[in-house]
Chain A
């Protein structure tokens, strides 16, 4: 068990020898992407160096994102272009995990998708049939729409909801109608309510899921963080040792909570959604659920670890 468990210890305030000790306490690193490694199109300062140093130190590296708009191949391309040394097997994404979840259940019907090509391409890869994503705007007033344009397919066995820039009333109506059959599966890629964007609040998958949840009166199976299902393939069979795995993230209720749920060590970086002021709130809170959000250790940004890593490699003698 980590000495720092749920203490939110600021690594910048520890001595070099303590940080070196901490660096040696984990063999696997699972990191979130948006807000930790990059923001939108740009790598965050120092993130590439730190992750590549972890790899050079012999640690296993995984990128784990709730972003369902990209396939693993696209995420790999982005990571490589920014300079990260990563392979496709090292990428855990909700789009991929959603397709894997359905495949594992031997799903053999068709999926109604409210999402983007990140999801449909991953479904194609595992041979699962699905509807097309893209625009589905309202045609005419409701009466006319229902009489002339609304078509419900009879072979839909699941509704998958992720991030959809073409979210619309017709899609809500179709999803609610399909989900009226209790045998139809309801899967959400993730429940992040906001899509990380600098200086702007924009709806994320979680907002679309909430809308569908409300009009279908059903609760979805959520694939992404903090549900341990997303790293199922690492935990069973035991590819990694949870106690010697570090989870890095910027959002406590997905990344840090996933770490808590899986028994990982956790590092919160302040370069994205949550900050030390949020941790203070959780410390003061009487709700035991809030305690799970408190990380073991903290850094303002991942790049801040670089001096300590260099120091640990050179034994402080440079």
Chain B
């Protein structure tokens, strides 16, 4: 792996060197949006490359996404539909899956008696339920009731024992129904139950478009963190905790793993944080020439304009 060297453009290397490089890793982690698919459309050549790496070069392939709006099995469904041949949904690493894995190994969380309060979308509730964990709040609207002032809500709702009793975790995800009441409930639980887990799917701050900006999950959790005085644990890239289950089970070794992605702050930083090789593809917002002008951003070890360009070497 390169340490602070310049990025190597794979297309500039002779074929033999690329073949040698292909032998330097046993596992491939690939980002989703912007790398192998864009929502429900495959990026051309991506499936062929990942399938070849898996089926002809003996690599274990995982798709690793920060998409917190779908369950692991729903993302696996998309992968299959788009032609990716990863064997089962255990080869999808996503925030909802990471949340479940993380809760299950926490000593203070007991799924037989604890439930989870979710400030987020319904997929988080679905994933928890599919894994035997009870939750409430996912996908639910809770505006201040007509005629209520915030003091009425707080005095009535937050003094009930069930507002915090046996709530073992607060999980924050993308929530188009984010509201004062949800913030207040989350803070109440986090302050009352010191041993409760506080998890967030990912910390994207905002998604900017020409005429409007869509708040990201990072903004929702920042508001809750400010009030609760506690920091949430990020269940997505670039936090290395995401890789823990695979490292613990021996399914991969970071030094023999290649991380492929289109986003320097997420994917390349993740590779760095975990000690993996990194390959940046130019199908996202940072084609290499732009990235190199922004030297404060993590620079990748290797680069390809698009993942499909690797096919000629496979």
Residues of A within 8 A of B (CB): 40, 135, 137-138, 141-142, 145-146, 150, 152, 164-169, 172-173, 176-177, 179-180, 193-194, 197, 200-204, 206-208, 210-217
Chain B residue nearest to A194 (CB atoms) is B227
Docked-complex contact A180 and B143, CB < 8 angstroms:
no
State the CA gap A152–B213 with chains docked (Å): 11
Beyond A166-B144, A203-B183, is A211–B227 a contact (Cβ under 8 Å)? no
Docked-complex contact A211 and B220, CB < 8 angstroms:
yes
Q: Which of B212, B218, B227 contacts A177 (CB 8 A)?
A: B212
Docked-complex contact B187 and A201, CB < 8 angstroms:
yes
Beyond A172-B219, A194-B227, A210-B226, is A138–B150 a contact (Cβ under 8 Å)? no
Q: How many residues of B contact A (CB 8 A)?
A: 41
Docked-complex contact B223 and A180, CB < 8 angstroms:
no
Total A-B Cβ pairs within 8 A: 132
State the CA gap A201–B144 with chains docked (Å): 17
Docked-complex contact A167 and B212, CB < 8 angstroms:
no
Docked-complex contact A164 and B227, CB < 8 angstroms:
no
Q: Which of B149, B177, B206, B220 contacts A138 (CB 8 A)?
A: B177
Known contacts A168-B180, A206-B226; can you find 17 more A-B pairs with CB under 8 A?
Answer: A40-B151, A167-B179, A168-B143, A169-B176, A169-B179, A172-B178, A202-B158, A203-B183, A203-B187, A207-B224, A207-B226, A211-B215, A214-B205, A214-B219, A216-B213, A217-B205, A217-B206
B228 located at the interface, meaning its Cβ lies under 8 Å from any Cβ of chain A in the complex: yes
Q: Which of B159, B183, B228, B229 contacts A167 (CB 8 A)?
A: B183
B208 located at the interface, meaning its Cβ lies under 8 Å from any Cβ of chain A in the complex: yes
Question: Secondary structure of the A side of the interface?
Answer: mixed
Q: Could you list some 9 contacts between A and B, CB below 8 A?
A: A165-B149, A172-B215, A180-B208, A180-B213, A201-B187, A202-B154, A207-B187, A210-B222, A216-B206
Beyond A146-B212, A201-B187, is A135–B143 a contact (Cβ under 8 Å)? yes
Docked-complex contact B184 and A208, CB < 8 angstroms:
no
Docked-complex contact B213 and A203, CB < 8 angstroms:
no
Contacts of B158 on A, CB cut-off 8 Å?
Answer: 200, 202
Contacts of B213 on A, CB cut-off 8 Å?
Answer: 173, 176-177, 179-180, 215-216
Within 8 A of A (CB), among B36-82: none
Beyond A135-B143, A204-B227, is A145–B176 a contact (Cβ under 8 Å)? yes
State the CA gap A213–B226 with chains docked (Å): 12
Contacts of B144 on A, CB cut-off 8 Å?
Answer: 135, 165-166
Contacts of B177 on A, CB cut-off 8 Å?
Answer: 137-138, 168-169
Q: How far is the CB of B214 from chain A (nearest CB, A)?
A: 6
